[in-house]
Structures are given as structure tokens and as C-alpha cells.
Chains A and B, each alone.
Chain A
Amino acid sequence: MWVMWTESNGFRRLGPIGSLLLVVATLLSTPDGGRAGAPPVPPFEIERPASTSPIDPLVLATLEKRGVVPAHLCSDQVFVRRVHLDVIGTLPTPDEVKQFLGDTGPDKRSALIDRLLGRREFADFWSLKWCDLLRVKSEFPSNLWPNAVQAYHRWVHDAIRDGWPYDRFVRELLTSSGSNFRVPQVNVYRAVQGRTPEAIATSIALTFMGVRLARWPAADRARLAAFFSRVAYKGTSEWKEEIVLFDPAPNPPVDAAFPGGEAVRIPSDRDPRLVFADWLIKPDNPWFGRNIVNRVWAWLLGRGIIHEPDDLRQDNPPVHPEVLALLEQELVKARYDLRHIFRLILNSQTYQQSSIPQGSHPDAEALFACYPVRQLDAEVLIDAICGITGVGEDYWSAIPEPFTFIPEYQRTITLADGSIGSAFLEMFGRPARDTGLEAERNAQPTEAQRLHMLNSTHIQRKLARSDRLKRLVRVGRNKPAELIRLIYLGVLSRPPTDEELAAVERYARTIGLNAQQIGQDLIWALFNTKEFLYRH
């Protein structure tokens, strides 16, 4: 039930009755009143208008039942930055920010979402993600080697760019045979430590069913592994070329069983991988759709409706089962178009909530009552720093190979190979692509990261050599407020607040430096704010 009430500060609020009760309870119990019911905090939040997303009523109903107050809606300034970072791993340019903030259309958020889903960087960024899960890496432990890595990455990238239906994408990966250079998707069977049928089954189940096979009884594991018992490998005279094929040797029929119990005898002339793939991508498969929609949710909202998103099992229930069911149905209805799922989630107020929680309910984040803050991905962060300063990066690999020579202007999110990297990427939590677990990409703050951002020569030099900053200084000559505004738009994707503007102007007056140096100091300071380093 929804009610409207007026608060002591004069703001009127609309919320489920539970939240009003909670406001009252909090006011009664804590002297400071808590935050529940507090007005939106500028420049980060605004009041929630009525929602049109089918997701929101389902989430709000659960929140109300649990007595959790949802956060406000994020402001346009927060939204334009968040949605760029989440959807294309790229900061909006100052022009994009200005255009969006100046747009007065009622549907501007959903129009922006549609534009981003069509951007080239969408494919770049989500290839990066998929190559984490598929462990695309030249060296240990995948040992795919450079040529195969490049071909595989390109295959994944093209499939995402062209919007392949997800079921087709997975079926191609699971059922192909041929050279790892020419039929790159066969590398899914090479990026597996050990390459035994059980090791392959473990990695396929993890990636496409969200299942940790080690938790299953040994007999069930063995019967799933049987589907991969006829995968064979053979070398060629090309360096590191390998053919992945259906073992043609005369074999007895394979006795396997689908997860869930149904046994199947596969004649010796039929590739068991085909049988498995056709079972997997059936619309009523209990793992297939659930796994991917839950992952997309986790990618956009920091954690899965089932969490961990790759640990689906009976005793790990979803926090919003109705939302999960809705997304599964939508996926099938949309013929496995993943962009449709992105669009549904991104257009919900659940996604567009503020990161500032209302109240202090311990489960607020786990129930999606606010948007969880999380560090920028290492690749996105360094791209942002390079983009703002206009100074590129050098990359390195232990293998002497031509793909290591990356032009300065190439984006880090487009790196194909987990074995090509830099000290920065390692330090800021780029996943090692060892296991394909989602948890590998979960950057947490460390002392080394703080040292690097506060004090490294690497960052200082980008500021010192920034031609882009020099241009801004020219544009903002004799107009310090304009320079500050331009820097804010570039770094934090919003104009400064009056207080911030005053603080920077005060700094500029007292420090006794020229405009170029003040610009460096301001960018340095903003680079070290949580607002820059986190998705929020």
C-alpha cells in the first residue's frame, strides 16, 4: 500500500506504507532520526516519480514486506555517468553530458539507454566481460597462445556486436569443430586446465548453467562429463594451431544423463556435445535462461538476484524470485536477445536508484534497495584517466609476440589477451582469467592502489603532459570558473556545485600557481575522489 506524507523539512514523499512506518519508527528510536525519509541529497538524488517498469513493483513489494525503505532516484548527473560506465565501460564526454542534462524530453533516460546499446563500445566492453568468463589468455593456466586468443576474442566481439541471440552464441561455442585459428569458438574446449571430460563439464556448467559442479554428487558429475568424453585434440604443423574435433575412432555408445536425472544413450556416430547443447538451450531448461538473466542483473547491479551469480542451487534462493521469473520469460519472448534484458533492467527505477541508502537496514544492498557503489574496473579506470588527460598507456607481455604492440590510442577495454597487461591493471584488480568465476572481478581498495593514485609518477606524468588540459586552460583563459566547470564535466561528468566551485576558486587564489598547475591539481584531486573511482 502506498501513502504520501509530509516531512518536518516540508518535503512531500510517496512511499509504501512500510517505509512510512519505518520512518516513524526510526524517528522514535534514534535521536538523529537516521536517514530514512530524508530529502534527496543534491547533486546526487531526486524524488522518485511513478514507475513504468514491470520490475519495480515486484522489487518494492518485497522491500515493503521486509521493512526496507528504497533509496531515492539518482539524479540525471549521476545517471548519465553510471549508465555509460555500466553499459559501455566508457565515461561520457563533456558534450554528451551537456546534451543529456540539457535535454528536457520525458524519455531521455530510455533514449540514452537505446543509444548506448548500439554503440561500438558496447561490444568492446562486453567482449571483455565474456573473455573473463571464457578465460581468454595466452599463458597460464588457459594456455590458448596469442593467435588463438586474438581470433577467439574477435569471434566473441563480432557475435556481441551483431546481436546474436544468446542461445545461438552458446550453441556455436559448444558444438563447433575445427582449427582453433579458423573456427575460433572451439577454443572454449582448449581454455580448460587438464582437458579431461570432467574438467570440461565443470567449466561448461559454471559458465552456461551457473553451477559449481564440485557441489554435485560424483555420479551426477560423471554422467554430465560423459557428454564431453568424445572431445579430441590434434596438432598441426603451425605453431600452436590445434584442431578440436569429435573423436572419430570407433567407440561404444555414450551413456550420459542430463542434469536432473534423465538418462540418454548416444549412438557412437553422434556427437554427444550436440545432444547436450540442444538440451541446454531448450526454453524450459531450468538453468540456461536463469543463469544468463541473473548474470546480466549482477553485471549491472553489482550482485545477482541469486548470489553468487555462478552458484545456482536449491539452497541458494533468489531474493526476488518474481523478478527472476519475469526476466527469464522476457528472454524467451525476445528470442534470446540479451540487449532486451539489458534494456528492461536499465529502464527500471531499481537500477536508477541512488547509491545513498535510506535508513540503515543491513540487507538494503542485498535486496537492491539502493545502487551499490563499486570500484571502476581496472580497464575502465585507466581508460578514463587516459581519456581525460589524453596520454596513453604502454602494455607488455611475457611472450614475445606482435599483438603486444598496442597503439597509444587503443582502448584498454579492447585488449584481447589476459596475458597482455601492465602493473596498473594488476594492481587495480583486473581478473587473472584463471577460473571463470565472477568473483575474480571484484576490485577492493588496497594500500598500493591508494599510493598509486595519490603519488605515482605514472599518474603525475599524465597530468604534467596532458595536452588536453593545456587546451582547456586556453579555453578557460581569464575565466577560472569556466576552466573548473570544464574539468568537472570531464572528470566527474557533472558541473561543480556552488560550494565546490567556491572551494576551488579559493584554492586557486591562495596557492599561487598558474592556471595550468591549478588545472593539474584539480584533476589530481578529482581523480582521488570516491566519486571518480567508484561507480555510484
Chain B
Amino acid sequence: MSKERFPGAMSRRGAIKTALAWGAGVALIDPLTGLAAPEDEKKPVPADPKAPARSVIQIWLAGGPCHLDTFDPKPEAGNDFSGPLAKPIPTSVPGVMIGELLPMLAQQADKYSLIRSLTHGVNAHETASYLVQTGHQPGEGLVHPCLGAVVALLKGYDHGYQGLVPPYVVLTTSQGRFSESGFLGEQYAPFATGGDPNQKRFAVEGIISEEISDARLLGRRELLKTLDTLGMALPTSPQFDRFNQAEKKALVTVAKAGTLFDLSQEKDELRNRYGRTTFGQSCLVARRLVEHGVRYITINSGGWDTHKQHFQIMRRMLPELDRGLSTLLSELSERGLLDSTIVWCCGEFGRTPRVQWAPPWNGGRGHHGKCFSVLVAGGGFKGGRVVGASDSRGEEVTDRPVHPQDLLGSICKLLGIDPAAKLPNDRGLDLQVMPSTEGGRGLLAEIM
């Protein structure tokens, strides 16, 4: 990945002007474009009380955060388990305690529920990432799409989605552990923004470009039209037709989607509340995308694989998470969006409850897939609840095991996707959207 920054940041006015110029180009090219390119989708949510969710924000803590230091503290287990983070704090929900480095989230506890009994038993990053995001066991000779790609398929362009950006967006880079779109192919792959929303200009790849004058952009476009000699020689090719359709859509996006990612439209005070970090500002972008109607947004936050220096790193990273996520929840709620937006936050596994004090780890934690926690909020999930429990050390699930497919199946249900339905695919495979545990009894009915 390139670590270079882009010189010559483009002003906001410049970006809008450029976008308008492109828009003019589109109108010239094809006044009959079938794409309505709607302004922000603010139509009322269809009133289906059983499927209130319209969008999902997945906050992915890649590498696996420790459940003991976040949502399932075990101070009684002693220093070998809690280490220096031994003083969990009460939350706005009586009786529910969370980690001491999450004070802002503690104030929002009525908005989310905690599942303390997520389990799959796998301790390898890539397989656990696959399990938690697809709900499917490996070993079937194929790779299932992750939930975002399923939503892009079943709630995307073919099902009434008309947003300016693809229905499944990743902030800012993909995880690279497995193919997120699986056998569905790149049509349903996430649109990864690239860039950094915490920079002065959030350079979203393909949407926010280097400064080039309007006249030159239009000129280039006209030049391209003149030089498309093969396209003109083959006017009836179905392949080229698909290409032209994709280009039409892209030009509308270039013309109009820039403002979606323009955080200078937000008040500084609000941007500070989210935290001036890549993660915090990603949460703010996610809110803007939800307002626009984007179906599924994944925020990939890396650096949670803390085999060494675990507690030092937690003291740096948990406050960032606390600030960004708690502001996201409260803002979604203030804007009336939380009822139709699911937020879920976890990593591929938890971390070993027993601290590895000995060298070479010197106070680190390993991988722990047997028992970990996930936060779920909004979109029909009740707040203020705790589901399941772990033992006194957070090592094993003692009550109400929740498997990844139960969590994802519940999210599907709230989106109006039947988890037991067949998943349409062009490979002729007879597959279910989500495998069911215990005939579907695993779904999180108690908080839905």
C-alpha cells in the first residue's frame, strides 16, 4: 500500500465545480441516461415492523480485541487476567459493567446490547474472519460472500437501491484475509474508498481526484469519445454495452458523490466529538453514507492483534474506539437513524483471558475463538441487554452460546432477508443465505 500523501489538495469549491463540469459532460453524452441519480435518498423507510433495518454499519476490529478489556470485564479473576485494567466501570444500564477505557460508551449503554457468548473456536485470523463475516464453516470447497456482499446482492441495485455510490462501501481499505464477495464475484465486492478521512481532503479513489481544470476534464472526455474507435466499430457488443452502462453510472457518481465524502460540510465541534483520528472520522463518514441510503458500510480498524505490549496499545486504541463509536451511536439516535441502522462491532475472535507475562510476549494476549463479545445496536436490536455469559475468567461460554450465523442471521432478518432462504447465484449451487443453528432457534430473538 502506498504510504505517500497527495500534494495539491483540491479545494471544496473546486471539487464541486469539477463535479458539476463532469455532470454537464454526462448530460451531453447521454441525455436519456436511465439513471435518475437521486439527491440523497430520504424517502420514508417502508414500515415493516419485522424488518426495520435499512442499513448496516459493521465496525471490524481486525486482529481481535480482548473481550475482558472491553465488553466482558473479569476483575475478580485477578491480575493474571485483567492485568492493569482491573477497574471496570458501571454503565447507564444498572448492573452492566464494561471496561474502564470505554467511559463514553458506558453512557450509551441503553442504545446497544452486548453478546458475551459469541463462539466459534477457531484461532487463525483468516478462517475466523471468514467465519464471523460469512457465518459459514470452511471446508465446503467454495467461499461464501460476507454479509455485506449478500446485502449488496439482495438489497442493492437490483432491488431498488439508487444511491450514488455502490451499496457496499468499505472505509478505507479491505481486509485482505479472504475474498469478501466470495463466489458472487467482483460485481458485489465492496467499494473501498482508499484515502484517509482524517486528512484535510478525503481522497476517495475514483471520486475525489487531483486538481485538473474543468475545461481540461471536459476536453479529455470529448477526446476520449472521438478516439473510441473500436467501440464505434462494434456498436452492438453486449460486453461493450455493459461497459457503457457502468461508465454512465460512474460519470453520475463522479459528478455528484463528492459531497458525500466532504467532511468540511460538518461542524468542527462535531468532527472533534468523533475524534480527529482515521477511525473517528470514518464513523462520521459512515453516518453520512447511511443518510444517503448506502446499505452496508464496513469500517476496518486494524492493529488489534496485540501479542505484545497489549495494555500499552489498549490505552491508546480503546479511547479512539470509545469516542468514535459512542458518538456514532448518539448521533444516529439524535438524527432518528438508529431505528433503521444496525451497528455491530467485534473482531474475528477475542484474546486469551490469561495474560502472557513471560518472554517473548511480556504482557501480551494470544488468539481466543472459544468465547468473545460483540456489541449490537439499532435497526430493531433492543438496547441495554446482555445476552449469554462466559465463565469467571472469560475462557468458556457458560450460557447461551451464540454462533456467528446466529448473529448474522439475526441481522439478515432485521433487514428483511430470510436467513433460511436460498441464496441466488449463477453457479447453480443450492445454498442457504445463512446456515441455521438448532433449526433457527439460535437467532437472537431475545433482543429483536
Contact = CB atoms under 8 A, between A and B. Distances in A.
A521 B427 contact: no
Chain B CB within 10 A, most for which of A445, A507, A522, A533: A445
Contacts of A510: 219
Given A360-B236, A398-B177, A530-B243, A450 B142 contact: no
B1 A450 contact: no
B127 interface: yes
Contacts of A356: 233-234
Interface stretch (A136-144, A175-183, A274-282, A343-351): A136-144
B335 interface: no
Contacts of B85: none
Interface string B239-282: 11011011101110110000000000000000000000000000
A374 B174 contact: no
Contact of A530 (B176, B215, B240): B240
Contacts of A112: none
A450 B138 contact: no
Contact of B189 (A427, A445, A507): A427
B129 interface: yes
With most chain A CB atoms within 10 A of its CB, the pick from B130, B175, B210 is B210
Contacts of B228: 529-531
A455 B187 contact: no
A447 B139 contact: no
A203 B189 CA distance: 25
Interface string B122-150: 00111101100000001111110000000
B384 interface: no
Given A435-B142, A455-B206, A526 B176 contact: no
Interface residues of B, number: 70
A325 interface: no
Contacts of A374: 239
Given A397-B176, A455-B207, A511-B216, A434 B254 contact: no
B342 to A, nearest CB: 24
Interface string A453-464: 011111011001
Given A356-B233, A374-B239, A394-B1, A193 B176 contact: no
B141 A194 contact: yes
Contacts of A141: 130, 138, 143, 178
B37 to A, nearest CB: 12
A75 to B, nearest CB: 12
Interface string B198-237: 0000010111111010011001101110111111011011
Given A141-B178, A373-B237, A461-B210, A202 B141 contact: yes
Interface residues of A, number: 76
B179 interface: yes
B76 interface: no
Nearest to A35: B236
Contacts of B230: 44, 529-531, 534, 536
A525 B2 CA distance: 25
A521 B227 contact: no
A500 interface: yes
A427 B186 contact: yes
A194 B136 CA distance: 13
Interface in A397-413: 397-398
A50 interface: no
Contacts of A521: 216, 219-220, 223
A199 interface: yes
Contact of B142 (A434, A522, A524): A434
A410 B166 CA distance: 32
A451 B126 CA distance: 30
Interface in A1-54: 41, 43-44
Nearest to A506: B226
A419 interface: yes
A510 B222 CA distance: 12
A89 B251 CA distance: 30
Chain A CB count within 10 A is highest, among B140, B208, B242, B250, for B250
Given A373-B239, A455-B254, A529-B230, A398 B176 contact: yes
A245 to B, nearest CB: 22
Interface-central residue, B138, B176, B222, by most chain A CB under 10 Å: B176
Contact of B191 (A448, A533, A536): A448
B177 A199 contact: no
B194 interface: yes
A437 B191 CA distance: 24
A429 B186 contact: yes
Contacts of A529: 224, 227-231
A447 B246 contact: yes
A445 B220 CA distance: 21
Interface string A510-536: 110100010001101110111101101
A445 B243 contact: yes
B183 interface: yes
B59 to A, nearest CB: 18
Interface of A: 41, 43-44, 139-141, 143, 193-194, 199, 202-203, 355-356, 360, 372-374, 394, 396-398, 419, 421-423, 426-429, 432, 434-435, 437, 439-440, 442-452, 454-458, 460-461, 464, 497, 500, 503-504, 507, 510-511, 513, 517, 521-522, 524-526, 528-531, 533-534, 536
30 contacts: A44-B233, A139-B178, A194-B141, A373-B234, A423-B173, A423-B192, A429-B185, A432-B179, A439-B427, A443-B186, A445-B246, A446-B186, A446-B187, A448-B250, A451-B205, A451-B206, A454-B206, A457-B6, A457-B194, A458-B194, A461-B6, A461-B210, A504-B227, A507-B222, A507-B226, A511-B216, A513-B216, A521-B219, A524-B220, A529-B229
Across the A-B interface, the 3 shortest Cβ-Cβ residue pairs: A451-B206, A432-B179, A450-B250
